[in-house]
Chains A and B, each alone.
Chain A
Amino acid sequence: MKAYLAYLSKRLVQFAVVVFVGINITYLVTHMTPINPVEQSISAATSYGATSPEAIEMMRQSLRQLYGLEGTPWEQYVSFWKRVLVGDFGPSLSAFPTPVSQLILRALPWTVGLLLVSTLLTWFLGNLLGGLAGYYRNSRILRAFGVLSMGLHPIPYYVVAFVLLIIFGFLWPVLPISGGATMASDRSNTLAFALDVTVHSILPVLSLMAVGIGGWFMGMRSLVSNIVTEDYVVYAELAGVKRSKIMRSYVMRNALGPQVTGLALQLGAIFNGAIITEQVFGYPGVGSLLISAVHSGDYSLVLGITTVSIVAVSAAVLLIDLLYPLIDPRVEAR
């Protein structure tokens, strides 16, 4: 228990450091450049149409605070952190006067749901099949799957997304190709709505899974084929332990450790995966929000999304790290 607490505090400190450094990078990025995003954003927002002078003044005020143009550099830095810590990124410019935090909160469940489902499914299937392929080396089906997933692996996922879009959008239109749910759906009927959301997520999830599965598959296969030659496995086989039991408790369990670490790192790359997928399938998540924010010059929204994704990803990594000792008891001793 004491060892776990030491481990826990170490990870928590690391989480704080990661978030601190990450947000400082975004601060530096916005302040090292000679461009003034406040005036740039204001002019972008006003070019969209008539906004009242009071609204523009309010926008400028909140931007100046957020960007930190008031006071000495130190005061600027402190006021930036104050706002970030309470999650106040001011009003969005492109959807004035809706607060940025509200826009993000609306989009976040879509992205998290999509990514969580596809990442976990990919990880589970890739490891299961890879483990089986490493243990039952003579299976033809598993070998064919290995060749297929290795071929798919280096292909950019958005290419798969385009291909799926062409197949199911034009050649065989049975699945919805755009949006997160049917526009006029009745959200009070929970079951029907859930079904609708699930159907809409099939193609985006497939496009993310098709590419991701190969990496886990290959990693697990090579891990397992190394473990299979270990003495204790050979001994168990000679002693007549059932093969399925050897597979489950001797081989898979020992191979899972590095794969769990991999899962944590994968979560760090998750936001790259979602952005184009969301764009291609018109999914109403954070990625689509970020793209439209960039195109409409919405400084506070871009900054808000960047910060939230840094915190969210670091938190996910932390969570995995905290679960890690439960899977692999050897970790605690470190």
Chain B
Amino acid sequence: MNTLRILRDLLRYNAEFAIGLFLVLIVAAIALCSFFSPYPPMDVYVVPPDVPPSWEHPLGTTSRGQDVFWQLTFAIRNTLLFGIVVAFLSRIISLAVGLISGYKGGWVDRILMSINDTFVVVPLFPILVLFYFIMRDQMTWAMLAIITALLGWAYDARLIRSVAMSLRTREFTRQAVFSGMSTGKIVLQEHLPFVLPIVFSTTMNNINWSIGIEVTLSVLGFTDINTPTIGGMIYWANQHTALVSGIWWWVTFPVLLVIMLFIGLFLLAISMNEYIDPRSRLSRLGGQA
């Protein structure tokens, strides 16, 4: 299979990709552990509080009487899922806008791009805070994911548009138009495959971005803090002044795990970017550019 060969090439010639994949797989494995947790994620005082890391509780316990390791498995699962859901939804929007805008050109392009540019520069964070402020208790995890996705597509849409614009002038597009294909068909069947590699690499960046937003909001207590997430764990630790009272394991492990995820996804994104660019791929394989 073609995909398998690309994967093999990347693993063999690209150390960043291998390290990134390794980190992300570890994080994913920890997230999967949540399905075997002996404790329900929402319950507090199920274990003795403030126990430092030990054999019984490998990462210690929190002041709320939760086992840090098992709590962490739920937290990273929700956080990771959040990133994936946001990335998936916003990919759909950015693909639609980017492809149509790039292919159609003219006034369609101008209107779509002025909307696009607005979303690029509007400061999202205060708007998200406003959303939370108005919705309060109705602001669930899923709601936040949808809102974040609606706000986070613009930058990548521009990238996709730039590729679509160059595809429009190519011979095969003209041929497709002459053979009577509809706009939707041309965009979906002819242009989409060329754009997919960029979509993959922007997905990684978008997951990172949305997780960053989620964690930032949660650390301040501006989300549904009862759903365990990485930011939620840091929030509760701050509420109990964990760092000051020496419960360092409560803060350190969630932070370490989310940093692993950030670095892993970041490395995957840059190595894919490099792979897409044929010049740097060749020089990596030892050829002449």
Q: Is A179 in contact with chain B by the CB < 8 A criterion?
A: no
Residues B96-139 near A (CB distance < 8 A): 114-115, 117-118, 120-127, 129-136, 138
Q: Nearest chain B CB to A312's CB is how many angstroms away?
A: 8
Interface size on B, residues (CB 8 A): 40
Please give the residue numbers on chain B whose beta carbons come within 8 Å of chain A beta carbons, in ascending order.
Answer: 114-115, 117-118, 120-127, 129-136, 138, 155, 208, 212-213, 215-216, 219-222, 243, 251, 255, 258-259, 262-263, 265-266
Distance, CA A18 to CA B208, complexed state (A): 26
Q: How large is the interface on A (under 10, 10 to 19, 20 to 34, 35 or more residues)?
A: 35 or more
Q: Are B134 and A306 in contact (CB under 8 A)?
A: no
Q: Are A30 and B130 in contact (CB under 8 A)?
A: yes
The residue in B127, B221, B222, B258 that gathers the most chain A C-beta atoms within 10 A of its C-beta is B127
| The one of A166, A294, A306 that contacts B243, using a Cβ cutoff of 8 Å | A166
Q: Are B258 and A156 in contact (CB under 8 A)?
A: yes
Query: If the complex has contacts A29-B131, A154-B263, A294-B129, are A159 and B255 also in contact, measured as CB distance less than 8 A?
Result: yes
| The one of B126, B134, B222 that contacts A309, using a Cβ cutoff of 8 Å | B126
Find the B residue at minimum CB distance from A41.
B133
Q: List 28 A-B contacts (CB under 8 A).
A: A14-B114, A17-B114, A22-B122, A25-B122, A26-B127, A29-B127, A29-B131, A35-B135, A35-B136, A154-B208, A154-B263, A156-B258, A156-B259, A162-B255, A265-B121, A272-B123, A275-B220, A276-B219, A276-B220, A290-B126, A305-B126, A306-B126, A306-B127, A306-B129, A306-B130, A310-B122, A313-B123, A314-B121
| The one of B130, B138, B259 that contacts A26, using a Cβ cutoff of 8 Å | B130
| The one of B123, B132, B212 that contacts A268, using a Cβ cutoff of 8 Å | B123
Q: Are B120 and A21 in contact (CB under 8 A)?
A: no
Residues A178-225 near B (CB distance < 8 A): none
Residues A264-298 near B (CB distance < 8 A): 264-265, 268-272, 275-276, 279, 290-291, 294-295
Find the B residue at minimum CB distance from A18.
B118
| The one of B118, B129, B155, B215 that contacts A22, using a Cβ cutoff of 8 Å | B118
